[in-house]
């Protein structure tokens, strides 16, 4: 394995979280939760960095025909951070709701998430969870709009 592939694997597994069992996608989502304490702007910035790094990592460690392997969790990290960026404050109920919403969208994969999941290569690997994060963030923003203060 080349040094670039080693770095790409580290990025793809979010420092090894993708190797944890059971449910590597859940572990990949959990590992970024502490960033909620940094606030929405930091979560959004971290989501962008992980999305770009994750796309690069996917091009390095996955074949174009490879479906999203369970150990590849950079996509879950980026998507989870997008939902966390929609939180007005990093409260325990808010983080729990953001986590539950993102994991539900990631597992059930309603359209257009299912469409993105079917796309080949690095784009498909990353895009489904980015869409799940964006849809989750929109849902969370709508929830807090209609029920202000409930997540405080």
137 assigned to some structural domain: yes
Mean local confidence (pLDDT), 83-109: 96
Mean local confidence (pLDDT), 33-48: 97
pTM: 0.95
39 assigned to some structural domain: yes
Local confidence band at 78 (pLDDT 50, 70, 90 cut-offs) = very high
Q: What does DSSP assign to residue 136?
A: H
Q: Which residue has the tokens 């790094």?
A: 53
55 assigned to some structural domain: yes
Domain that holds residue 121: 3-146
d(CA 43, CA 36): 6
Q: Which residue has the tokens 């939180």?
A: 87
How many distinct structural domains can be found in the chain? 1
């Amino acid at each position: 394995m080349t040094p670039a592939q080693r770095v790409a694997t580290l990025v793809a597994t979010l420092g090894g979280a993708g190797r944890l069992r059971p449910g590597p996608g859940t572990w990949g989502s959990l590992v970024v939760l502490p960033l909620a304490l940094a606030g929405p702007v930091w979560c959004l910035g971290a989501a962008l960095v992980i999305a770009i790094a994750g796309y690069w990592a996917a091009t390095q460690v996955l074949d174009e025909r490879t479906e999203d392997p369970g150990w590849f969790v950079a996509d879950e990290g980026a998507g989870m951070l997008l939902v966390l960026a929609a939180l007005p404050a990093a409260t325990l109920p808010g983080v729990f709701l953001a986590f539950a919403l993102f994991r539900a969208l990631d597992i059930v994969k309603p359209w257009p998430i299912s469409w993105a999941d079917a796309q080949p290569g690095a784009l498909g690997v990353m895009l489904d969870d980015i869409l799940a994060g964006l849809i989750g963030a929109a849902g969370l923003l709508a929830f807090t709009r209609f029920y202000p203060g409930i997540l405080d």
